[in-house]
C-alpha cells in the first residue's frame, strides 16, 4: 500500500526548530515500515488545531488521496489531525466515501483492519451524539432568548444571543446551511419574515466574528 503522512505544529517557532515534527515523522515512518507500506511523502502544516481551515498541506494530502495517488493517511497523534470529534468524523466519512484508509498511531485506529474500522464507527456515533447534544443546547438557548423578549434578527439588528449561537455552532463544525436550517426550524424570525439562508449566516458570522 502507498501511504501519505501528515504532521502539524501550532507555531512558527515549532516549525523552524523542528520541535515536535521530528518525533511525528519518526512515528509515521516507523509505522509505515512496520506495515510494509511505501511512504510517498509527509505533509506538514503550521496551523492551529481548532479547525481544519487554513491547512493547505492537509488539503493537498486529501486531494492526493481522493485521486488515489495513495491508499492510506498516517498521522502520529489524533490531535495533530483534529481536536474536534465532528471534524474527525467528517474525515472518516470522507475516507470511506473515497475509498482510502486512515491510520492514527496513538489511538491504534487503523481502518485498513476490521478492528480499526469498528473503532472508527464508534467514534462517528459519538460525533453524531455530540451534534445532537449541540442541537438540544441550541434549542434551549433560543427558547430562553425568546422568553426574555429578545428580537432575533439579522444584519445590523442581530441580537447578541443570535450572534453567540451562530459563533458556537460554527466553531462546533456546523456548516452555514446547517445553522440556517436550525434557526428556521426553531422559528427565529428573519428581517423579512422568511427563511434563514446560508449566505445570511455567513454574512453575520463574518461581520461579528
182-205 pLDDT tens trace:
777 766 666 666 778 888 888 888
pLDDT value of residue 132: 66
Backbone angles phi, psi at 3, to 5 degrees: -120, 150
Partners of 110 in beta bridges = 103
Q: Which H or E element spans position 66?
A: helix 56-66
Q: Is 204 exposed, middle or buried (0-12, 13-18, 19+ CB in 10 A)?
A: buried
For residues 59-68, average pLDDT: 93
Tell me the β-bridge partners of 41: 4
**Collapsed DSSP state (helix, strand, coil) of residue 86:** helix
Contact 110, 101 (CB under 8 A): yes
Given 10, 48, 56, 172, which residue is catalytic? Answer: 10
Q: pLDDT at residue 98 above 60?
A: yes
All 3 cell numbers of residue 72?
492510506
Is the whole-model pTM more than 0.85?
A: no
pLDDT for res 12: 54
Please, are residues 28 and 72 in contact by the beta-carbon 8 Å criterion?
Answer: no
Residue with the bigger pLDDT between 141 and 113: it is 113
17 an active-site residue?
Answer: no
Q: Is 145 in contact with 158 (CB distance < 8 Å)?
A: no
What is the pLDDT, as a whole number, of residue 130? 61
Highest mean pLDDT among 48-52, 107-111, 142-146, 163-167: 107-111
DSSP state of 156: G
What mean pLDDT is predicted for residues 89-108? 87
The string of pLDDT tens digits covering residues 12-53 is 545 444 557 889 999 999 999 999 999 999 999 987 766 666
pLDDT of residue 1: 93
- Measure the CA–CA gap between 89 and 120, rounded to whole angstroms: 8
Amino acid at each position: 500500500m502507498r501511504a501519505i503522512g501528515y504532521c502539524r505544529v501550532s507555531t512558527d517557532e515549532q516549525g523552524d526548530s523542528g520541535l515536535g515534527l521530528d518525533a511525528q515523522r519518526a512515528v509515521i515512518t516507523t509505522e509505515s515500515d512496520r506495515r510494509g507500506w511505501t511512504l510517498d511523502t509527509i505533509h506538514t502544516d503550521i496551523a492551529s488545531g481548532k479547525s481544519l481551515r487554513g491547512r493547505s498541506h492537509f488539503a493537498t494530502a486529501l486531494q492526493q488521496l481522493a485521486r488515489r495517488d495513495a491508499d492510506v493517511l498516517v498521522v502520529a497523534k489524533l490531535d495533530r489531525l483534529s481536536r474536534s470529534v465532528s471534524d474527525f468524523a467528517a474525515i472518516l466519512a470522507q475516507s470511506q466515501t473515497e475509498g482510502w484508509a486512515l491510520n492514527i498511531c496513538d489511538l491504534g485506529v487503523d481502518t485498513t483492519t476490521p478492528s480499526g474500522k469498528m473503532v472508527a464507527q464508534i467514534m462517528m456515533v459519538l460525533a453524531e451524539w455530540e451534534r445532537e447534544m449541540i442541537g438540544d443546547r441550541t434549542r434551549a438557548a433560543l427558547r430562553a432568548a425568546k422568553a426574555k423578549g429578545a428580537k432575533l434578527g439579522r444584519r445590523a439588528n442581530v441580537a447578541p444571543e443570535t450572534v453567540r449561537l451562530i459563533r458556537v455552532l460554527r466553531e462546533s463544525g456546523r456548516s452555514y446551511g446547517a445553522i440556517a436550517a436550525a434557526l428556521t426550524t426553531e422559528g427565529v424570525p428573519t428581517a423579512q419574515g422568511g427563511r434563514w439562508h446560508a449566505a445570511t449566516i455567513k454574512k453575520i458570522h463574518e461581520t461579528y466574528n
